Amino acid sequence: MPRKSTSQAFSVFETEDTAQIEEKETEYLLVNEESPEYLKKVELIYAIHQAPNKAARRDAIADAAKALGKSTRTIKRMIEKVEQVGVATLAVGRKDKGQYRISKYWHDFIVSLHEWGYREGSRINHNQIFGYLKALAFKGEELKDKKYNEKFKGYSQVREDLIAGRHPSHVTVYKIINCYLEEKNKKVRHPGSPIEGQIIQTTKGILEITHSNQIWQIDHTKLDIFLVDEEFRKVIGRAYITLVIDSYSGCVTGFHLGLEPAGSHEVGLALRHAILPKLYGTEYELQEKWEICGIPEYVVTDRAKEFKSGHLKQISLQLDFKLRLRAFPQAGGLIESAFDKINKEVLSFCPGYTGSSIAERPPESERTAWLTLDDLEKKLVRYFVDHYNHHDYPRVKNQKRIERWKSSFILEEPELIDERELDICLMKVAIRNVEKYGSVNFLRLVYKGDCLLDYEGKQVSLRYDKRNITTILAYTRPMNGEPGEFIGVIQARDCERERMSLGELSYIKKKLRDEGKQVDNSSILNERLAIFEDVEKTRKERRRQSRKKAQQKHEVKTNKSKVHEIFPENKPDEESIISQENVIYTNFDANTRDNENSIDKQIQQSKSDTNQTAKAKRRPRVAVNDWNQFMRDNW
């Protein structure tokens, strides 16, 4: 059965008269963009309206129909619409332009097939859906079987059309799925919460933002800039930043910068920096003070595994704040905008900037890198203190971010906490033995401190900050369930720098190892190589001697004759052998009798040689004049 076209197979369901619908849709229209086509229609219709008589009007209508490529009847209908509704109707095109003429049942059925094809990891494409519809239509009357009832539940009209061999064309299927995906993936920007009554949706409910230090948000990202080490000025990678922001004021309360991927301990270090008062030296060139400190009531993060760790839960219990996870990724827009500003307002002007797109990365970004981790930290501190926190708060006129943060502490100051209580935020514990003179070995560095003199021969636990490993904290090792007690601060003994991060130390060690491989160690290496070569030479010689002895032993065994004489009485004696040899040699040349003496000497030499050969070989060689006679005599 030939398949009907889609327009013939599926009719459009209309509830009202077409003319009435068009009249309602074109009511109170106003043209905002005057296109050339619209202006052309206006000129032609205007000429028709200004015609002085019927003949001129008839000629104007004909000219308009020719200019627009339409019939005179269409031009007359355009004139009627202008008179009834207004001139804006000239800008209205076909209502069904770009749409597909198909029933709602078929639309929903095709969409349901697409959704089914994306379950449990499957990825169905548009052509597969069209092929499936063709296959169903090919079944015909078989679709009436009860096994298809579940498939066509709620789609009885679709089932009837398929039985009759009717189904949408591949163009219609593609249009339906593309329109569905476009509508599904459409993103509408949130206008933002009002100034009062701002909320954050979490997995455990909605939090309303009412004051400073109530809700802090934490997240981290990899910055778009290459860094170099301070000693060799070689590229060591890109830095990770963990940022803490106050939700009420939008101020940056603290951060942590490092070369290692951010984890739970980096989050703890960023929290420690945000909670403590911040004092910076003159080398930072700050014009303002970083006054933000205190303890939050809630810490809101995304649902990454580092924010669900046991270490972060211990910190929340220690400092008495509550952890909450965002209900939707879009709820982290405040901190994401801060990351975007860091890249655009700070890093984009610095050497080594990579940009956010790998495909558009400048080829000279790695070659021109010059900033160290300390240099980047100073730039970020100055940006946060002098620029970001003192910038206008976007939701309130004439109010800075820092002013909004201070406005909640008119009556009382933010809570301060002892630095020792925040040691739990430092890096995880490392157990080491205390050696002589109060020293310990850690990270291939020697640390010393007078506080360890009384602990020689005992074990202590160490806590440290990855940003500065020249100074670490020593605690007694927890024993029998008792927590460790603070002993004191110990310093790196042989470190010439005042500050050095763990990432820089790792890079320096790797650099020294690589340089050590390039030093001329030819004598050492040749000596090692000679030892291996001598051993291999000795082994080869020993194997060769073993093979030689085995071969000689094998030859002795195989040279023994294994032939048994059947008629030993026919074995010729030595005299007959000699006489036969004499016959051979005498017949060799009968005319050489004058040389008899020399021949005798040759015969004597031949006899000695024959005797030796007879001993070496299994059977003697016998000279025979008549072979037939020899065979008769021996058999």
The one-letter code for the residue type at 332 is G
More confident residue, 583 or 415: 415
Task: Classify 48 in phi/psi space as left (phi over 0), alpha (psi -120 to 50) or beta.
Answer: alpha
| Share above pLDDT 90 across residues of the chain, in percent, rounded to a whole number | 27
User: Does 591 have pLDDT greater than 60?
Assistant: no
Instruction: Label residue 568 by pLDDT band (50, 70, 90).
Output: low
Q: 296 near 216, Cβ under 8 Å? A: yes
Mean pLDDT for 393-412 is 83
Two tokens, residue 275:
């909670």
Structure confidence at residue 612 (pLDDT):
53
Q: How much is the mean pLDDT over the chain?
A: 79
Please enumerate in sequence order all residues whose Cβ is within 8 A of that of 218, keeping only pairs 6 or more positions apart, or say none.
242, 243, 244, 245, 267, 270, 271, 299, 300, 301, 307, 335
Structure confidence at residue 614 (pLDDT):
47
More confident residue, 393 or 632: 393
- Which of 95-104, 139-148, 182-191, 480-489 is least confident? 95-104
Q: Which of 436, 505, 494, 418 is nearest to 464 (CA)?
A: 505
pLDDT tens per residue, range 537-552: 888 888 888 888 888 8
Burial-class residue 276 by CB neighbours within 10 Å (0-12, 13-18, 19+): middle
Burial-class residue 93 by CB neighbours within 10 Å (0-12, 13-18, 19+): exposed
User: Does 290 have pLDDT greater than 70?
Assistant: yes
Give 34's Cβ-side CA count (13 Å radius): 6
Residue spans of alpha helices (H) in 117-238: 126-139, 156-163, 170-184
Instruction: Label residue 606 by pLDDT band (50, 70, 90).
Output: low
User: Does 19 have pLDDT greater than 80?
Assistant: no
- Which of 236-250, 453-467, 553-567, 600-614 is least confident? 600-614
Mean pLDDT comparison of 114-123, 271-280, 498-507, highest-scoring range: 271-280
CATH topology for 200-409 is: Nucleotidyltransferase; domain 5 (3.30.420)
Instruction: Label residue 331 by pLDDT band (50, 70, 90).
Output: confident
Domain boundaries along the sequence of the chain: 27-91, 200-409, 430-516, 520-560, 568-634
Strands (E) located in 229-331: 235-246, 252-258, 298-301, 322-325
More confident residue, 1 or 430: 430
Instruction: Label residue 528 by pLDDT band (50, 70, 90).
Output: low
Model-level pTM?
A: 0.56
User: Does 50 have pLDDT greater than 70?
Assistant: yes
Residues in the chain: 635
User: Does 34 have pLDDT greater than 50?
Assistant: yes
Q: Which of 94, 93, 113 is nearest to 176 (CA)?
A: 113
Q: Which CATH number fits domain 430-516: 3.40.50.300, 3.20.130.10, 2.30.30.130, 3.30.2130.10?
A: 2.30.30.130
- Which of 182-186, 415-419, 459-463, 506-510 is least confident? 506-510
Q: 141 near 163, Cβ under 8 Å? A: yes
